[in-house]
Structure 1
């Protein structure tokens, strides 16, 4: 039903609906009229409606009487306990229902207040124009309607509202208590099974409070608010255990915790409305606003996805943040540890690049070549990690999450910006050390291998055409930097994949599964089985992230080739090794060699900047925080580097004793 009103037809419309006793149609028309005003004119139209009620007191009284009688004929508690609160069946079921609702909307019963709100506030944009109307205008309208409502009808509505509100509070408290038996939450905190868990205690307190109200006996509700605070604290604890504390999370757990939080918020809101002897108009307005906003969003797939994924993404980025701390060198010992680790990685990268060159000469099928190249990358990255070495470009995805965690943990202000600037300098220094170790050693090993090959064979490792192709591959005047950006995106994805599998590993408690696996019990002794389980549990995410990253690098070129699109990758470490092979095989000269090395560093810069930027953006969004004063942070970082240029390349000597060493953790 579409109702179009203007300033001249508003009064006749209200009069007609009052005469015909059509309360719902009246509300639908008024809502449509306000919505049509948009965020620019909605407030003005609301003022016109208030003025109309002032100028027509008799009509205002008739309207108030109609709305009171209509409201008392409806059950209100289904609206209170459902709109704005996730259903219990889980994320996937609710997602499916919301999608189906868009395809085949359910019938809306005008005698059901929940459906009434769904029809009145059916647009996602309704929250925009509602926020432009001042609370004072709504309260003035309520006051006018109340003033012209007979005392008996006011009391009837008051009693009906309180009865429905008490019922809703009782039902919501039962829901909260039932969550104490939810296996996924018990896994996070076994103390929920205790009889005196906050969720169960809240339900008992609510039952006593409602009984006291119905029997009109005195009751101190301060303890009820204490129990609500304890329940909120319990939800926060579950969130931390599901994310940072290593127990793992899932969309289902995120959905349950979000539902718990929504339920506790709704109980608090309903208590504020119905606990006083006289219902406060301001609290009624707040409740109506929450229900209206929720009704406008209840079928939004995007909002459901955003809210449910937030905790899961936070848990994933938290795992990368925990690893990221090990990639930041604050002491000389940590710095040299990263440099040596990157040097070891450079040796293997040069050999992996050599094997890829060999594959290119042996395999003509491009798909098979890409697949084996991906395995070469992936298994090579896994080997680098297992040997304790480092791939420089793997660091940004980890350190960006650590940077986001530091932003969340600190307050605002110049002092905090200086601390973040120091962290930024530490991150840059660590990146420079890792890139230097990878690039210098990869080039050196590649040149040595090419020299040995040239000395033992009658022809160089690469022919003239292959040398030209390798030099063109690092030329920034072509699509090289675009390909480097694609590799940066895959670097970001590998960090997220690592965090996901770490989170999944914790969620499944993989360590205990492997320790007690029946087949492993038959094959391995207990001590060895325990070591295997511990290693796999602690490194599962990183190993899977490395494997997936390698496959992404290997298969990207095939996708671009198959679709005839500029879709390929350039990775700083492998590009440096390829330049080393080309330099010896083609005798390119010192100037061309230095130019190619410079181009390789440009590739590395794009790799790192893209990966770091995307990961930082995602990590900040998942933590619902942001960085204020980016330019100030950069300015403070520049001042620190300007004051002590060596700090960008070498940690201060005095940090050696005060900062715990983590040489062995450089790649963990």
Structure 2
């Protein structure tokens, strides 16, 4: 502080930031997230300024000189606002900046701000320090200048320029063709995006006049706020339309950029109006914390990947959540319908497991096995979907997205949300039972029929021993392989959501109907029926196709590269146990039976646990659900289990007791 005081005494126009960087460094705690130490450091600075009024004046003069001698505009309009770049362009620029940092322009506060809070985690302590402590420092320095003089005029003028830039940006985004495509009414009626710009310009002109003529009173921003609310209503309508018609990454990025610009404009307008009421200090603290966080993450490749992943995952899980509605049962009738549906899938899986064993007897290279296995899996899973059956392990990725969507909607009480989760788990339980209940007897019947027809076992003793080893949770990699299958299930859920979204957003059914050669080949009625089916089922069909390819190729990739990777799926494992049982002529000890059945159960738990956890994490992160909410929901689920464990497995005895949640 003494050096700052000497510097300002010798040169009242002193604007170098070296001393200011040292001051910020002295406030920064040794352990970057030690909020208590940071708070103590700021309190110590406040105490020193109270004891040394000369230091107080010197620091105020110095800070104001640093600010007024540079352009404030870009800090207010660019920091914390998503840039209009695609992911790859932004990622390339971020990586290049790490090797060759961008040129620092000393005339811009935006660049100086980044030098002051140069530690990439400064936001942890800046945002952690209580507002009251920051307010004490600001009020002690009287850093918010009085409504008079050149300093006030300079800072206010920069803020007004930022308001205008943000307003023009909102107008430009509001006229983007992608927004108009999703909400044509923007063109039919007077656009709030254009009207707010007219109001902002009038507001800025009158406010600027008030800076030179004290008799002129600036208008409040009430009318602008009304128009900004209308702009936000349009954004919400576009999002609702996109939830039905599909959404692109570019549209999601535009809506995010638009929302951020509206929020920043509102923040600055509130700051300008608050200068009249004396509440500018609190708003300045909020803005400081927001800007420090945004600046710290400005060159973060990790943050870039995370933000774009959120956009992509929101795009896919939104559609997956709609599919998940079909996997949740509310009453006994639906619970039994789920049982029958999954039993049908178990029947088909029994034949799929048989075909895989037959393919395994061929003399082929890994590529040949991968091709045949993928064809078997994909065809079988698609057949399951076409026949309206259900694979139990396909549920988690869909139902997790549904749960996250319920959280995101904000209209569900936590108790109702917990009941939804109970229904999801109950539906998952009966789905597993249904798959296994028919997969095992189907495989058992096929094995005996094969023996009766050909006189040899489909799975000879050597093959049977191999099948049993594959599901042994202790002496094999069954559980890690089950986790790999869980990842595949999770990815297939995302793929389903992505292609459901693509079918709607890209108008694939309507575009297919425009193909004259297809119209001549199928005729009008068949073409309409086929394209309607594709529009409704493209995501499920594509997800099953890729899921089959993943299951069929991963094991062969392990063989090709010499890696211990493979997949284990509960339904196929249960069918393989039946083949092994017949192949060994039931000569199986009770220890082997117990180990195998335990392995099947654990494989299923890992399948479901991994896929559900990954899908839930992505769905929650895409909606930025806080950790506190997650912990609260987890505690409520546990209490719900202790109070009624039966409800997690069986439907209520009377339908009147079922949840009122609709799906």
Q: 1:476 aligns to what?
A: 473
SS in 2 for 1:624: coil
Measure how far apart 1:652 and its partner are: 3.4
Contact 2:60 2:143 in 1 (8 A): no
Between the aligned partners of 1:91 and 1:202, the Cα distance in structure 2 is 30
- Which of 637, 640, 664 lines up with 2:641 in the alignment? 637
Between the aligned partners of 2:391 and 2:428, the Cα distance in structure 1 is 10
Pick closer, same or farther for the CA change 1:427–1:483 going to 2, 3 Å. same
Contact 2:366 2:557 in 1 (8 A): no
Alignment partner of 1:391 is 2:391: yes
- Which of 15, 26, 50 lines up with 1:33 in the alignment? 26
Measure how far apart 1:277 and its partner are: 5.6
Q: 2:436 aligns to what?
A: 439
SS in 2 for 1:459: coil
Between the aligned partners of 1:367 and 1:319, the Cα distance in structure 2 is 34
Pick closer, same or farther for the CA change 1:487–1:168 going to 2, 3 Å. same
SS in 2 for 1:567: coil
Between the aligned partners of 2:656 and 2:59, the Cα distance in structure 1 is 75
Cα deviation digits, residues 210-251 of structure 1 (max 9, x gap): 233344366453222111222223223333433xx2222233
Between the aligned partners of 1:26 and 1:123, the Cα distance in structure 2 is 17
Q: 2:340 aligns to what?
A: 340
> Within 5 A, what are the aligned runs for 1:213-292?
213-215=207-209, 216=216, 219=219, 221-242=221-242, 245-276=243-274, 278=276, 280-292=280-292
Pick closer, same or farther for the CA change 1:367–1:13 going to 2, 3 Å. same
Q: 2:427 aligns to what?
A: 430
Contact 2:321 2:402 in 1 (8 A): yes
Q: 2:6 aligns to what?
A: 15
- Which of 454, 458, 463 lines up with 1:461 in the alignment? 458
Between the aligned partners of 1:659 and 1:587, the Cα distance in structure 2 is 51
Give the stretch that moved more between structures: 158-167 or 619-628. Answer: 619-628
Give the stretch that moved more between structures: 292-301 or 99-108. Answer: 292-301
Alignment partner of 1:178 is 2:172: yes
Pick closer, same or farther for the CA change 1:640–1:274 going to 2, 3 Å. same
Query: Aligned-pair RMSD on alpha carbons?
Result: 3.0
Cα deviation digits, residues 420-470 of structure 1 (max 9, x gap): 454344333322332233222222222222222212223222221111111
Pick closer, same or farther for the CA change 1:71–1:453 going to 2, 3 Å. closer
Cα deviation digits, residues 476-512 of structure 1 (max 9, x gap): 2222222222212211121112112222222222222
Measure how far apart 1:101 and its partner are: 1.5
SS in 2 for 1:349: helix
5+ residue gaps, structure 2 = 210-215
- Which of 548, 568, 575 lines up with 1:550 in the alignment? 548
Q: 1:124 aligns to what?
A: 120
Between the aligned partners of 1:118 and 1:233, the Cα distance in structure 2 is 35
- Which of 182, 191, 200 lines up with 1:188 in the alignment? 182
Between the aligned partners of 1:67 and 1:391, the Cα distance in structure 2 is 65
Measure how far apart 1:156 and its partner are: 0.7
- Which of 557, 564, 572 lines up with 1:574 in the alignment? 572
Contact 1:378 1:549 in 2 (8 A): yes
Pick closer, same or farther for the CA change 1:12–1:521 going to 2, 3 Å. same
SS in 2 for 1:23: coil
Between the aligned partners of 1:326 and 1:260, the Cα distance in structure 2 is 34
Cα deviation digits, residues 48-72 of structure 1 (max 9, x gap): 3333433443454344334434433
Q: 2:159 aligns to what?
A: 165
Pick closer, same or farther for the CA change 1:95–1:257 going to 2, 3 Å. farther
Between the aligned partners of 1:58 and 1:148, the Cα distance in structure 2 is 18
Q: 1:7 aligns to what?
A: none
Pick closer, same or farther for the CA change 1:133–1:564 going to 2, 3 Å. same
Measure how far apart 1:255 and its partner are: 1.8
> Within 5 A, what are the aligned runs for 1:219-618?
219=219, 221-242=221-242, 245-276=243-274, 278=276, 280-409=280-409, 416-417=414-415, 419-478=416-475, 479-589=477-587, 592=590, 595=594, 596-618=596-618
Contact 2:206 2:218 in 1 (8 A): yes
Alignment partner of 1:211 is 2:205: yes
Cα deviation digits, residues 522-561 of structure 1 (max 9, x gap): 4332332222221111111111111111111112212333
Contact 2:425 2:649 in 1 (8 A): yes
Between the aligned partners of 1:583 and 1:44, the Cα distance in structure 2 is 71
Could you tell me the TM-score, scaled by structure 2's length? Answer: 0.89
Cα deviation digits, residues 316-342 of structure 1 (max 9, x gap): 222222111111222343233322222
Q: 2:212 aligns to what?
A: none
SS in 1 for 2:190: coil
Measure how far apart 1:597 and its partner are: 4.1
Contact 1:246 1:506 in 2 (8 A): yes
Q: How many correspondences in the alignment?
A: 643
Contact 1:85 1:259 in 2 (8 A): yes
Measure how far apart 1:638 and its partner are: 4.5
Pick closer, same or farther for the CA change 1:656–1:383 going to 2, 3 Å. farther
SS in 1 for 2:244: coil
Contact 2:360 2:369 in 1 (8 A): yes
Between the aligned partners of 1:503 and 1:422, the Cα distance in structure 2 is 28
Contact 2:221 2:269 in 1 (8 A): no
Between the aligned partners of 1:18 and 1:25, the Cα distance in structure 2 is 17
Pick closer, same or farther for the CA change 1:144–1:608 going to 2, 3 Å. closer
Pick closer, same or farther for the CA change 1:604–1:658 going to 2, 3 Å. closer
Could you tell me the TM-score, scaled by structure 1's length? Answer: 0.88
SS in 1 for 2:245: coil
SS in 2 for 1:86: coil
- Which of 188, 192, 197 lines up with 1:198 in the alignment? 192
Between the aligned partners of 1:147 and 1:55, the Cα distance in structure 2 is 18
Q: 2:17 aligns to what?
A: 24
Between the aligned partners of 2:339 and 2:141, the Cα distance in structure 1 is 75
Between the aligned partners of 1:431 and 1:146, the Cα distance in structure 2 is 62
SS in 2 for 1:246: helix
Give the stretch that moved more between structures: 435-444 or 76-85. Answer: 435-444
Measure how far apart 1:574 and its partner are: 1.1
Q: 1:105 aligns to what?
A: 101
Q: 2:653 aligns to what?
A: 652
Between the aligned partners of 2:597 and 2:305, the Cα distance in structure 1 is 45
Between the aligned partners of 2:84 and 2:541, the Cα distance in structure 1 is 35
Contact 1:212 1:219 in 2 (8 A): yes
Between the aligned partners of 1:469 and 1:59, the Cα distance in structure 2 is 81
Give the stretch that moved more between structures: 82-91 or 208-217. Answer: 208-217
